[in-house]
Amino acid sequence: MEITQIIEKFKVAGNPTEIKQLTCGNINQTYRITMSDGVRYILQNININIFTDPVGLMNNIFGVCAHIKAKLPEEERDRRAMTFIDTKDGEHFYRDDDGKCWRMYVYIDAISYQSIEKPGLFYKAAKAFGEFQQQLADYPADTLAETIKNFHNTVSRFADFKAAIANCKLPERLEESKDVIDAFLARESLAHVAVDKLATGELPLRVTHNDTKLNNILMDEATDEGLCVIDLDTVMPGSVLYDFGDAIRFGAATTAEDDPDTSKMALDLDLFAEFVRGFIDGTNGSLTQTELDLLPEGAMLLTYECAIRFIGDYLNGDTYFKINYEKHNLVRARAQLALLVDMEKKLDDMRKIVKG
């Protein structure tokens, strides 16, 4: 189906004058649409191979956005929360003739960063992610659909990783990744850091974002203030360690998550410290002592988790993450391993920073 025909299904006025495909994200396909009245939207194809319950997912998103909007002053609601558009039939998304699912939301004129380009930026991002979690602290968690089962259950991720090794049909990939695989197998105990403590209640279950990459936050172009947290597909009950950890994995690394030159990869402790300050300010004193104590392990945990997901996908024949070239997932896994090794060396430094 043509993009223009899909746009017509939504409650928007006028005709599209520009349709631009955006290249961000490893999962969904995204277009920026400009309408004849100048209003801009984002049209997104939800990857239903990954998000198998689009109804539950979109109900989550509409609920979460309404909850956040209700907490904002009227004049900030358009810029500080996402506004999703229903279809003309009153549905939260449109399913086309090929079974593809599409959703639309109002484009917010702001920027998102791929890396920390200037001082102070990471503090602002951290504060916004912390505030996001605060806004959802009283959200009825039992109404949220689990959009990806066991998304950050690292114990089950580790089992998936082992299954990918055992069932791998690409012997040359298994051979060339041997060093990486061994390094991850040797670190199995890390997989238990959060899962076990969530089970005993030592770590509280909260409503978390679960995909807190720096580029999932829109920032004001003039002031760099964090405006709006986006990419709400994985908002689900989880641990604060997930949001903290993934943000550090992506934002406090000295190079891109898929840099083939692993010698450039390290943890930037200054950025780590900046994020800790912003996150603590954003969550406004609500973190428990156990959560605070485990923040450094959270950074290692999420790096480890992402790494075993990348290498698992490589062994499975690249069925999950979008790739730009043949060995992309292996390169990603190697980069994450380099980051993890550096974090292990800096664990005491991280702990000192959190203690303050």
237 binds ligand GN1 (CB under 6 A): no
CA distance 5 to 29: 17
List Cβ<8 Å contacts ≥24 apart for 46-52: 46/93, 46/101, 46/102, 46/103, 46/233, 48/99, 48/100, 48/101, 50/148, 50/320, 51/147, 51/148, 51/233
211 binds ligand GN1 (CB under 6 A): yes
Burial of 263 from C-beta contacts in 10 A (0-12 / 13-18 / 19+) = exposed
CB 209 within 8 A of CB 133: yes
Q: Which of 26, 83, 134, 153 binds ligand GN1 (CB under 6 A)?
A: 26
Minimal distance in Å, beta carbon 201 to ligand GN1?
26
Minimal distance in Å, beta carbon 231 to ligand GN1?
5
CA distance 298 to 291: 9
CA distance 293 to 287: 10
Which residues 261-320 are close enough to bind ligand GN1 by CB under 6 A?
A: 306
Q: Which of 44, 135, 234, 283 binds ligand GN1 (CB under 6 A)?
A: 234
224 binds ligand GN1 (CB under 6 A): no
Minimal distance in Å, beta carbon 212 to Mg ion?
10
Amino acid letter, 87: T
| Closer CB to Mg ion, 231 or 258, in the complex | 231
| Closer CB to ligand GN1, 154 or 234, in the complex | 234
25 binds ligand GN1 (CB under 6 A): yes
| 198 C-beta neighbours (distance < 10 Å), count | 18
| Closer CB to ligand GN1, 26 or 34, in the complex | 26
Q: Which does 306 bind (CB under 5 to 8 A by kind): ligand GN1, Mg ion, none?
A: ligand GN1
259 binds ligand GN1 (CB under 6 A): no
**Binding-site size, ligand GN1 (CB under 6 A):** 10
CB 235 within 8 A of CB 210: yes
Binding site residues, Mg ion, CB under 5 A: 211, 231
| Closer CB to Mg ion, 231 or 305, in the complex | 231
Helix (H, G, I), strand (E, B) or coil at 176: helix
| Closer CB to ligand GN1, 27 or 341, in the complex | 27
CA distance 191 to 161: 11
Which parts of this chain interact with ligand GN1 (CB under 6 A)?
25-27, 211, 213, 231, 233-234, 257, 306
